[in-house]
Structure 1
Amino acid sequence: MWIKHKRIWSWIAVITLIASGFAGTSRASAAKNLPALGTHAQAAALIDVTSGRLLYSSHGDDELRIASLTKIMTAIVAIEHGKLDSEVKVSKNAFGKEGSSIYLKLGEEMTLENMLYGLMLRSGNDAATAIAEHVGGSVEGFVYLMNEKARMLGLSHSHFMNPHGLDEEGHYSSANDLAKLTAYALHNPVFKEIVKTPTKKVPNPNESWDYKWDNKNKMLRLYEGADGVKTGYTKKAFRCLVSSATRNGQQLVAVTLNDGDDWNDHGRMLDYGFEYYPLKQLTEKGEPVQGQDLVVSQTFQYPFADGEEAQVNKKLVLYPEAEEGAPDLRFGLRGKIEVSLKGEKIGEIPVYRKGSVLPERTASGTAAEQTMAPVHQSNWGQWFSVVLKRLLQPGA
């Protein structure tokens, strides 16, 4: 029985770290005295990647066609579920897929990693289909993984029917959901590297020359600090764009759906975020908690409009002490600091006993110094109950 309790407390410690890394709220800014921001888009959103704070949203929850912005989900699901060095074989279904293409040959084999470059730089629908069949076993199997990922991330205004984004009934997302999804994906180093690449050369098994793919995302050339992400267009979705840029250590993501002036709108949106919502540091990893024999485990950063930082409140919440003589199954974890802005919770920072080994990484593989985009918070209770149920089952 003691062994089972030990396992439970170990999992509680791990899940606590996961939840703390994803804590916060993702609400559009309500700060006063800021200039108005407008776009030509049917729907738009702007998000800070580090914190996951939505800085701007216009019709952000409207469920709309998203064209090849779909491939953001395709890429992150493939990266998380597939092996990058595995060989993807092009099936009859993938060969000659309509729409944008990287012109793969029937039966051609290419590593998953290289095919992901073709997917994201050239928006290859043939690559999307081949990747889906390879990683999911079938297109239908992969689409199931896409929708499961959307559910886990709390993307309540998204549903996927295919991996490429060609118009299909029941296939949609929203500007807010795409902002949250992209903020999540940009914490993955493979995804982050792919979407910022301007040009990629890949071996071509059928010809004497290599494939050379230039990124369709003009923001990489038009905007200082641009480092992603994806273009999209269909006759029903019209022009869609997700862009990202990094300045002074802050990364922002802008999303527009059905926008005829998207390049200019994205420049204005990103400028707005960097100017009026600079990223500021509230705590530093390892710093002591005043009046306690404790230290904070993460550097916590958050974007604040002018005057907002003075409205931040930090509350220390300590967990119950273990029984005297019992081993420390929480590895020094003693509680958390709840951070709120204007009475609304924006994050949690785990605190540890001085001298403890502080966690280096969160469950997503991102550095603990980064406060993860908080799209997972709603699933904390669900994850906790599932783990406890499994551990308490006989034979678990």
Structure 2
Amino acid sequence: MSPKYLMEGALNAIPVGYKQSDVGIIPEDWETKPLGELVEIYSGDSPSKFVFSTEGTPYFKVEQLNNGSVYADSTPYFIHSSKKVLAGSVIFPKRGASILSNKIRVLKHDSFMDTNLMALTCHHGLDELFLYNQLTYRGLDSVADTTSIPQINNKHISPYLVPLPRKAEQTAIANALSDVDALISELEKLIAKKQAIKTATMQQLLTGRTRLPQFALREDGTPKGTKPSELGEIPVDWEVVTLGTASSFINGRAYSLHEWENSGTPVIRLQNLTGRGDEYYYSNLQLPEKQYCKYGDLLFMWSATFGPVIWRGPKAIYHYHIWKIACEVGYSQSYLFYLLDDMTEKLKRSSSSGGTMLHVTKEKMESTKAAFPSYEEQTAIATILSDMDAEIQALEQRLGKTRQIKQGMMQELLTGKTRLPYDKE
């Protein structure tokens, strides 16, 4: 095929009103410019140079960019310094794995920053939120040197080409994406609020400090009292038993490499329960029925990754670092799930490792004591908490869809595929 034919084909693929550029097909009235012509580039200084206080100029480190907000507006560090980066500057990590996670923010206030951060202050012709969205959409890894340890220096920023409409159109695009960002932020706040309410509800209902109305009164209409126990005061009609009395903890099985198959019964590993991996190993071994789990069974991750999970997949085998928990008669699986969830969250919060490398023995779990109401009250409590979970899950699904919508909008607006009306004066 001749070069002339290829060139003609390429030209025919470009829509009317668009042109080929070094960053792809863009509108004819857009241009591309190196970022170095559009911004002032700043790097931070080591915190050892400063004395921190409770007021003054905000000082940002990489960890303060962890929240999902567009703006970097919260930090526990303040300094007294006349050297500041202006509010509205786009800030991001300039080295390490944080580059790959796209931690890009816009400074809410005049600020200063750690040596691991870089800031870009826009010249008059570049809208800072337009730049924020361009970098977010294209990814910091498209700017960085990722041959060894990811890093971004001035030499990477200065030649980086940006597709550039007029300032008014940049602002129109940025405003449209900011509206979606605001919705995302509100959903995140609502989810956090609902989760906090659920946590507080669990602490009240699972301890009996708050009773559901249908279980709170005696037959004569007087309130039920409490009684002392090894766990403290509990409702008079509750009992303290060990988890080993309420349920059976059934060990998973360790596997050798030669036992894995490409098909057969899936084997559940920790990453399959945490969302870190969707791939399964398989086994054709014939095992005792207790070594299998089915949809709806209660599993517990007990090593490194820690906590209960309700299995929502097909019949499977569970690996060595997982227990299956079978409830005894009179004990609700759903109630036990929330009891274990509350217990393990408290352990994670109190762990010096932040809950990332916890380990608990079967004997320890079986001997752990907990308070249980009647089966009917267990079921009622679990139903309320399950309804809360369903509401949170629906909000999380809505949040996920909104993020997808924003991603689609970025793809359309930041490349000029879809144009917005704007004031051309």
Pair member with larger Rg: 2
TM-score of the superposition, structure 1-length normalised? 0.26
More helix by share: 2
